[in-house]
Amino acid sequence: MSLMMEQPFTGYWTDLTDRDIHGVWAFSQDYYGTPPPIPWDVEPNNHGGMENCAVIYTNGRFSDVTCNSTANVICQKPAAGVSTASPNNNTAPSSPSMPLV
């Protein structure tokens, strides 16, 4: 039996939060920029008034969850052979910190 079948799937952290302004979803790290339009379905519902972080599921749908929920993490790193230098010669972060809660 696979691990995915043994435990309920909880989605992947997106780094999106509406902690600062309720209902205004933004990345917690400034260097991610402004998020694209989010394809919410029946979410966000802020169940219990405590859901201020977002996960994404493999079907592309987002859900708001409590920020101390358990979810999977996707790491970001530069592709082999691709420069991470920005036009002004500053180096972009190669491994941004994701909220691991």
- Looking at residue 5, what is its pLDDT? 44
Instruction: Give me the tens of pLDDT residue by residue for the chain, a chain 101 residues long.
Output: 344 444 556 799 998 999 988 889 998 877 677 888 888 878 899 999 999 999 999 888 899 999 999 899 887 777 777 765 554 443 333 334 444 43
The dihedrals phi and psi of 97, each to the nearest 5 degrees, come to -75, 130
H and E: helices and strands count for the chain? 1, 4
Report the side by side order of strands in the sheet with 62-65: 26-27, 12-17, 53-56, 62-65
**The total number of residues written for the chain in this structure:** 101
